[in-house]
Amino acid sequence: MTPFRLLHQSSTCAARCGEITTLHGTISTPVFMPVGTQATVKGVLPEELEALGAQIILGNTYHLFIRPGHELIRSLGGLHAFMHWQRPILTDSGGFQIFSLRELARITEQGAEFRSHLDGSRLFLSPEDAVHVQEALGSDIMMVLDTCIPYPAGRDEAARATALTGRWAARCKKALSGTGQLLFGIVQGGMYPDLRRQAAAELVETGFDGYALGGLSVGEPKELMLEMLEATVPHLPADHPVYLMGVGTPEDLVEGVYHGVDMFDCVMPTRNARNGMLFTSRGRLVIKNARYREDPRPVDEDCSCYTCRHFSRAYLRHLFQSREILASQLNSIHNLHYYCALMAAMRDAIAEDRFGDFRREFYARRETPP
């Protein structure tokens, strides 16, 4: 039985809202997942994450496998107890991290052999290992181990990697121990629509609790990413959640929802916050700019986050220029609140069947700088 329940489908596009049931609660979709790679969302307390509207966060299997180790986390009550977060958690399988460290890795039919980026020690992760590690972590949603494809990549390379991802996905499903955790398959295929359609069909035949689109937002033009969404999402079952991995900007989220995507994650809100770049309803604001030195306004006058309720642009600029830790904290709270509020607004718009109007208004507001 699928964990996904469709609540409303837009009458004008593929946007939809629904619910995903997990061991640690129900998630309203579409949803954005703050990234907590090392079992922490940088600079933000768990209670602050709850207050700003985060429903689910993402951890990373590769990093937690290397440090501090999944068995240690299991012995301390699992990832939820370890990081003091009792809402749902999704763990990425580590395939992208292994890909990004490919100079230290060798991919074979059996799995990924790689060297730790910390101390150079030799490690091995098979599809079965990826599942067992995630089961030990206790995440609510696990991802299959996949083979990521660079951009650009030739057709033959993309076809080989996509086929291997499909075989690994089947092995991941067979490795399940019946814990009640959900397992999502990952559609690869590079920038080749037919390969993505074929990968989607094979994963659906194997059968997973949800389906993710991997290998996008890796340097390709936005138009090509949207083309891949259009080529893939309609071939995934409508009664299962669809997850676009590692995406992205606010515009990406709006367009992803427009094309039928239910789940997103990206490091951008917190990474950009640490670099002084803030998201607002009117576009991006770079807080270090001299124009904000005496600006008494909040970051976004339409925002109700803790940062905007209590602090001026002038103060935030002062903190950033002084390299104060509080700058990263307050900026991260604002950016994550903006992302979560954006998703909530889209859920409301879909439920009221006015997503087309919402999308037009979203872009119209960006015509006036913050």
Element (H, E) at 331: helix 325-351
Mean pLDDT calculated for residue range 151-157? 95
Q: Exposed, middle or buried: residue 304 (CB in 10 Å: 0-12, 13-18, 19+)?
A: exposed
What confidence tens digit (pLDDT) does each residue in 63-73 have?
999 999 999 99
Res 326: pLDDT: 98
Bridge-partner residues for 141, per DSSP? Answer: 90, 182
Active site residue 300: no
- Domain definitions of the chain by residue range: 4-266, 277-365
**Domain range 4-266, its CATH number among 3.20.20.105, 3.90.1150.10, 1.10.760.10, 3.40.920.10:** 3.20.20.105
Active site residue 92: yes
% pLDDT > 90, the chain: 92
Q: Which two tokens stand for residue 103?
A: 């100079």
CA separation for the pair 166, 186 (Å, rounded): 8
- Out of 140, 262, 265, 300, which one is annotated catalytic? 265
Res 116: pLDDT: 86
What confidence tens digit (pLDDT) does each residue in 187-214 have?
999 999 999 999 999 999 999 999 999 9
Q: How confident is the model at residue 102 (pLDDT cuts 50, 70, 90)?
A: confident
Residue 308 has pLDDT above 90, yes or no: yes
What's 247's DSSP letter? B
3-class DSSP state of 145: coil
Mean pLDDT, the chain, whole residue set: 96
Res 155: pLDDT: 97
What confidence tens digit (pLDDT) does each residue in 214-251 have?
999 999 999 999 999 999 999 999 999 999 999 999 99
Q: Exposed, middle or buried: residue 101 (CB in 10 Å: 0-12, 13-18, 19+)?
A: middle
Q: pTM for the complete prediction?
A: 0.97
Return the closest-CA partner of residue 234 out of 20, 13, 17.
13
What confidence tens digit (pLDDT) does each residue in 13-28 have?
999 999 999 999 999 9
Element (H, E) at 81: helix 78-83
Residue 101 has pLDDT above 80, yes or no: no
Q: Which two tokens stand for residue 354?
A: 């006015």
Mean pLDDT calculated for residue range 162-179? 98
Mean pLDDT calculated for residue range 35-39? 97
Q: Which residues contact 221 (CB under 8 A, 6 or more apart)?
A: none
Tally of residues, the chain: 370
What confidence tens digit (pLDDT) does each residue in 106-144 have?
899 999 998 888 898 999 999 999 999 999 999 999 999
Mean pLDDT calculated for residue range 40-55? 97
